[in-house]
Amino acid sequence: MYLNTVLMPPLPDSSFFFRCIYLNMSDIVVPGFKSSELIAELNKIFDAMSDDERAKLIKQVNGVFQFVIKNSEGKEETFTIDAKKEGKVSRGKGAQKADAILSLKDDDFVALATGKLNGQKAYMSGKLKVKGQIMLAMKLDNVFKAINPTAKL
């Protein structure tokens, strides 16, 4: 946390509270990855859910998804959606072992999460690669609908 605090740009209000919010968002948002902005939005939605809403989603999905996303520069980032135990999103590999690992390009993730790309077509065309429980990946549409109700995997 010290390293992030030292490297962080100056904020208009340097109170500890605002620094914590900034650090939490910067933990997920990665420059050069449009997908990270959607994942951060999903994190906000998870945080805003009541305990009952989160429990319902966990019961519906019951899986941990790891996304390996490659941007246009060829750099890779990993994000984890835990919809099995905690109902949270994180950058990097999560504490729970992933049930499904999904690899795709940054633009394809954005299209998938916003409902502009069909997950089955993406998989069949090779845009989406899945390791692990492929049928569990079909339940991701429940998660993506939190961002965009028209999203469909």
In this predicted model, what pLDDT tens digit does every residue of 15-69 receive, in sequence order? Answer: 333 333 333 445 899 999 999 999 998 899 889 989 999 999 899 899 999 999 9
pLDDT of residue 120 exceeding 90, the answer is no
H or E segment and range at residue 6: helix 2-7
From residue 33, alpha-carbon distances to 45, 88, 108 in Å are 19, 19, 11
- Output the pTM of the full model: 0.78
Tell me how far apart the alpha carbons of residues 9 and 47 are, in angstroms, rounded to a whole number.
25
- pLDDT tens track for 77-92: 999 999 999 888 999 9
pLDDT score recorded for residue 148: 61
pLDDT score recorded for residue 115: 85
Q: How many CA atoms lie within 13 A of 38 on its CB side?
A: 23
Best mean pLDDT range from 8-17, 19-28, 114-123: 114-123
Tell me how far apart the alpha carbons of residues 44 and 89 are, in angstroms, rounded to a whole number.
9
Q: What is the mean pLDDT of the chain?
A: 81
Quickly count: other Cβ atoms within 10 Å of residue 7's Cβ: 8
Lowest mean pLDDT among 5-14, 39-48, 67-76, 114-123: 5-14
